Amino acid sequence: MSATVIDGKSVAAQVVEQVTSHTTKLISETGIVPGIAVVIVGEDPASQVYVRSKGKRAVECGFHSVTHKLAEDTDENTLLNLINELNNDEVIHGILVQLPLPDHIEEGKIIQAVSPDKDVDGFHFINVGKLGTGEIATAFVPCTPAGSMVLLKQALGKQDFSGLNAVVVGRSNIVGKPIANLLLAANATVTIAHSRTKDLPELTKTADILIAAVGRPEMIKGNWVKPGAVVIDVGINRIDAPEKGEGKTRLVGDVAYDECAEAASAITPVPGGVGPMTIAMLMATTLIAACRKAGIEPPTF
Ligand code: GUN
């Protein structure tokens, strides 16, 4: 079998188009402009790239977009004060504090300081709790898991995963745990595997849906994949690529792509799979936040 390549770039473009047209309608009917604030502390180059892309995409969607760039040595209180201001700012509907934060700032404290009604990352305890108890309609769902589910539902051609085994490799709060909850909500039978799991290849071979979210380059091999499985690769790892020249690098996922594509029925590439969906879903979530604030039924994605 040779897998269908799931085109995340094209699906993300469709989501952004849907967000843009709903935004135009929201503005013309209510005068409300969805507003997003992205906060970054420090100079991490990858985070800088992500934050620039988020701001650019927000403007394309017709949003009010502000980016707060704070110096690496910003103290925790200064950041908490900024979050408090944004929580009280009427024109801001979504707040995202880019992670990781510098070591001297307690990440958990910052995440919990964001108002749950503006927590477009879905990291606040209130939103995590809603997702865990199936209150998805009023929760904010983390963007990468939400985007992965959109791709998965398209690839499988259905919304209901009854009877399907899903294995999630990775148990992070940002991806592994929330995606497991989303899969469960879609009626899949879900197993979360991690670094302490025994006989991982045996387990992944039982998966009709295999989610790789471990952050280890090309860890999942072709013979770990059940023939016909749908494989979603959430990993983005930069590795040396001496074949491209001295000092060159390339991006790979957590899945050994070529060999897994032999076994799978559908697979996401890296780059161009889950990656583009993350920012698209952030736009969708910000629009949803603005609609909820206005008491308007938000669109579904
Ligand atoms: N850093 C890497 N992924 C994410 C994400 O989804 N949200 C935030 N805020 N920071 C990140």
Write the pLDDT tens digit of every residue in 93-118: 999 999 999 999 999 999 999 999 99
Decide: residue 102, CB within 10 A, 0-12 exposed, 13-18 middle, 19+ buried.
Answer: middle
Q: Ligand 1: list residues with CB < 6 Å.
A: 96-99, 121, 143-144, 174
Among residues 190, 170, 199, which one has the least CA distance to residue 274?
170
Residue of 18, 98, 119, 208 marked catalytic: 98
Q: Token pair for residue 131? A: 């997702």
Which atom of ligand 1 is least distant from the CA of 99? 10
98 classed as catalytic: yes
Q: What is the DSSP string of 74-132?
A: --HHHHHHHHHHHHT-TT--EEEE-SSPPTTS-HHHHHHHS-GGGBTT--SHHHHHHHH
Stretch(es) of the chain classified as CATH 3.40.50.720 = 143-276
pLDDT < 50 stretches in the chain = none
For residues 58 and 181, give the distance between their C-alpha atoms in angstroms, rounded to a whole number. 28
Q: Which architecture does CATH list for 143-276?
A: 3-Layer(aba) Sandwich (3.40)
Angle (CA) 284-285-288 rounded to 5° is 90
Which atom of ligand 1 is least distant from the CA of 144? 6
Q: Whose CA is nearest to atom 1 of ligand 1?
A: 99
**Please, are residues 6 and 266 in contact by the beta-carbon 8 Å criterion?**
yes
198 classed as catalytic: no
pLDDT digits (tens, 9 = 90+) for 1-41: 689 999 999 999 999 999 999 999 999 999 999 999 999 99
Angle (CA) 164-15-59 rounded to 5° is 145
Stretch(es) of the chain classified as CATH 3.40.50.10860 = 30-115
Mutate to test the pocket of ligand 1, among 40, 174, 277, 286 (most ligand atoms within 8 A of CB): 174
Which atom of ligand 1 is least distant from the CA of 282? 6
pLDDT of residue 297: 96
Contacts with 21 (C-beta within 8 Å, 6 or more apart), sequence order: none
The yes/no answer on whether domain 30-115 falls in CATH 3.40.50.10860 is yes
Put simply, whether the predicted model's pTM sits higher than 0.95 gets the answer yes
pLDDT of residue 180: 98
pLDDT of residue 1: 62
For residues 204 and 208, give the distance between their C-alpha atoms in angstroms, rounded to a whole number. 9
Q: What percent of the chain is modeled with pLDDT above 70?
A: 100
pLDDT of residue 281: 98
Residue of 18, 119, 121, 233 marked catalytic: 121
Mutate to test the pocket of ligand 1, among 99, 105, 111 (most ligand atoms within 8 A of CB): 99
Rounded to 10°, the helix 143-156/8-30 angle is: 110
pLDDT of residue 2: 87
For residues 166 and 160, give the distance between their C-alpha atoms in angstroms, rounded to a whole number. 13
